[in-house]
Amino acid sequence: MNVKVMVMGASGQLGREIRQQFQGCYDLDAPGLDITDYPSVKDRISEINPSVVINTAAYTNVEKAEEEELTAFQVNAIGAQNVAIACKRVGAKFVHISTDYIFDGTKSAPYEEFDSPHPLSVYGKSKLWGEKLVEAVGGESFILRTSWLYGEGHNFVKTMLKLADERDKLSVVADQYGTPTYTKDLVWVIEKLMQTDFYGVYHASNNGSCSWYEFARKIFELTGKTVKVEPVSSAEYPTKAERPRCSVMENKLLKLRGLDVMRPWEEALQDYLENAVH
Ligand SMILES: NC(=O)C1=CN([C@@H]2O[C@H](COP(=O)(O)OP(=O)(O)OC[C@H]3O[C@@H](n4cnc5c(N)ncnc54)[C@H](O)[C@@H]3O)[C@@H](O)[C@H]2O)C=CC1
């Protein structure tokens, strides 16, 4: 209980999951800090003197980031570095969350940790800059790249369930592949890793892969919804931000370290639908 953990972005999807799972196990601090405000970040981290800081705070609107590049970079790159510097000053371990969108999705096999990144969107670029700036600080940091998150708050699963109640037919993109990841499972990995000194970049998604269309079909299969789902191509559903066609990642370093506690995505989804969605 005397391990102090600070969570940045504590009211977001992942931040809420961490608070839920860590409550009662750790001395938890969830400040409503703006991570782009370096003096405040530095002062608060010095004052609390945590053992671990987890940064889930991010500019996550992939579409809007195309128009708000500066803000996206302020939060995802500069903000991440601010927290990393403040952690280094007090000797705190730093867990930073990144994304599969740093890849361009053209590789024909799952991405490993040391594959070359090549982001297609402003969001992806800003997150990659965040990774590089965190690494440049040279502190005790873990960078966890995850994908297609769902848990507390708004997410694809809840959107699909809502639409299924409102419509008879849905169109879902079938030519973008990735791995849905339950925040609960990601928190298991965070907790395992933060107890080690194995600093570095990790892929941390549930196991397996699917398209958004297959993801939607599985959600309806598991909940017994009878809505008709139609596969569409990305070209039929134009967006401002370009997304990777196949950003499936392998949790290779977690496996090598014997720390891959991730379940197959279908199993995690079933757990979520049975126990967390009301
Ligand atoms: N949601 C997803 O599908 C994926 C998310 N990620 C990454 O996982 C992490 C967590 O994502 P979610 O919890 O889903 O995001 P979220 O959007 O639910 O939460 C992000 C939180 O950060 C806060 N925030 C924004 N700007 C801030 C600032 N300047 N200072 C402090 N807080 C600020 C927001 O208010 C929000 O509460 C992020 O780093 C994101 O880039 C990675 C892959 C997929």
User: Residue 108 maps to which CATH number?
Assistant: 3.40.50.720
Bridge-partner residues for 5, per DSSP?
28, 52
**Which residues form the domain of 68?**
4-154+179-208+248-263
Q: Does any domain span residue 84?
A: yes
To test the pocket of ligand 1, the residue of 45, 56, 70, 206 to mutate (highest count of ligand atoms within 8 Å of its CB) is 56
Q: Does any domain span residue 174?
A: no
Q: What is the pTM of this model?
A: 0.97
Q: Does any domain span residue 219?
A: no
Give how many domains the chain has, as a whole number: 1
Q: Does any domain span residue 74?
A: yes
Query: Is-contact 170 164, C-beta < 8 A?
Result: yes
Check if the interface score ipTM surpasses 0.95.
yes
Distance 147 CA to ligand 1 centre (A): 12
Q: Does any domain span residue 40?
A: yes
35-61 per-position pLDDT tens digit: 999 999 999 999 999 999 999 999 999
Q: Please report the atom of ligand 1 found closest to the CA of residue 32.
A: 31
157-210 per-position pLDDT tens digit: 999 999 999 999 999 999 999 999 999 999 999 999 999 999 999 999 999 999
Identify residue 132 by its one-letter amino acid code: K
Q: Does any domain span residue 88?
A: yes
Query: Is-contact 66 108, C-beta < 8 A?
Result: no
Tokens of 147: 């994908």
Whole-number Cα distances in Å, 228 to 157, 224, 225, 237, 269? 16, 12, 9, 18, 20
Closest residue by CA, ligand 1 atom 33: 57
Rounded to whole angstroms, the Cα distance separating 7 from 183 reads: 14
Q: Does any domain span residue 241?
A: no
Q: Please report the atom of ligand 1 found closest to the CA of residue 100.
A: 43
Q: Does any domain span residue 71?
A: yes
Q: Please work out whether the CB of residue 149 comes within 6 Å of at least one atom of ligand 1.
A: yes
